[in-house]
């Protein structure tokens, strides 16, 4: 079976602005609700609003085990930004 699927990916699309603190937590919900059926929407986030989680087909949680920043490695262009 061959399907063509569009996959828009936005890293930190919601995490860059904490919508709950701005009192507009509904902001990502219309985006999710209005996407086309053949579009896979990928969002990375933290402190995700429950309404976003409820609409998701897949939710994963990551945790830091080890990070090179702790050893003094600074942010690198192309890796971090």
What does DSSP assign to residue 31? Answer: H
In this prediction, residue 8 carries a pLDDT of: 56
In this prediction, residue 27 carries a pLDDT of: 65
Taking the C-alpha atoms of residue 51 and residue 58, their distance in angstroms, rounded to an integer, is: 13
Answer yes or no: are the C-beta atoms of 29 and 52 closer than 8 Å.
yes
pLDDT in tens, the chain (81 residues): 555 555 555 544 444 445 555 455 556 788 788 888 887 777 777 778 888 889 888 888 888 898 888 888 887 777 666
Residue 72 φ/ψ region, left for φ over 0, alpha for ψ in the -120 to 50 degree band, beta for the rest: left
Answer yes or no: are the C-beta atoms of 81 and 75 closer than 8 Å.
yes
Which stretch of DSSP H or E encloses residue 42?
strand 42-43
């Amino acid at each position: 079976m061959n399907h063509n699927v569009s996959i828009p990916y936005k890293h930190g699309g919601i995490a860059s602005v904490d919508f709950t603190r701005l009192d507009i937590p509904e902001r990502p919900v219309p985006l999710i609700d209005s996407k086309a059926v053949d579009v896979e929407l990928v969002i990375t986030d933290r402190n995700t609003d429950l309404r976003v989680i409820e609409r998701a087909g897949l939710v994963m949680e990551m945790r830091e085990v080890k990070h090179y920043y702790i050893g003094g490695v600074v942010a690198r262009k192309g890796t971090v930004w």
